[in-house]
Amino acid sequence: MARLTVEQTYPHISFRPRSRSWLAWLMRWPAECVHLENGHPWMATFIPDTLYLRGKAAPRRSPARPEVSLCLDCLGTLLEPELAAHPGRVVAFEPDGENFTQYFFVGREDFTAAGLRPEVAAAISEATTVPCASQSIKPSPPMM
């Protein structure tokens, strides 16, 4: 399987040299943006093109882009053009930082495979087809 490098995939993000070393490669540690070097208070692991279905990786694109660890600013830089280019609607939320550890973006076509309960899938599908003006939830301002 062909692999993309971190430098090819994320040219506008600077990565810690230590996270690009042979030891990091051997231990399968993801590359980290330079902002995480000094104990940044917020971090996300970005695993694009792979959907985890009940604990097993299911690649959704070949070649898949590599996994990386990013600060909030770098994640925003990375996601903003992707979300802007997405033709559909996106449902997002801000989790409770103290009690919530992870969440996933799953496309409507993968709801069943990801194990989403049918009633939850139906509610999310309905929420993404109704125009924002008729919803009680206000859209979030764009990411900077």
Q: What is the pLDDT of residues 92-101, one digit of tens each?
A: 666 666 665 5
- Given pLDDT bands bounded at 50, 70 and 90, which one contains residue 142? low
* Ramachandran class of 58: left when φ > 0, alpha when ψ lies in -120 to 50, beta otherwise: beta
Helices (H), the chain: 6-9, 22-27, 72-85, 118-129
- Parse the chain into domains and list their residue ranges: 6-134
d(CA 45, CA 90): 20
The more confidently predicted of residues 53 and 84 is 84
Coil, strand or helix at 15: strand
Ranking 24-28, 49-53, 91-95, 130-134 by mean pLDDT, the lowest is 130-134
Encoded tokens for 109: 């076509």
> Strands, E, within the chain: which ranges?
31-32, 44-46, 50-53, 56-59, 68-70
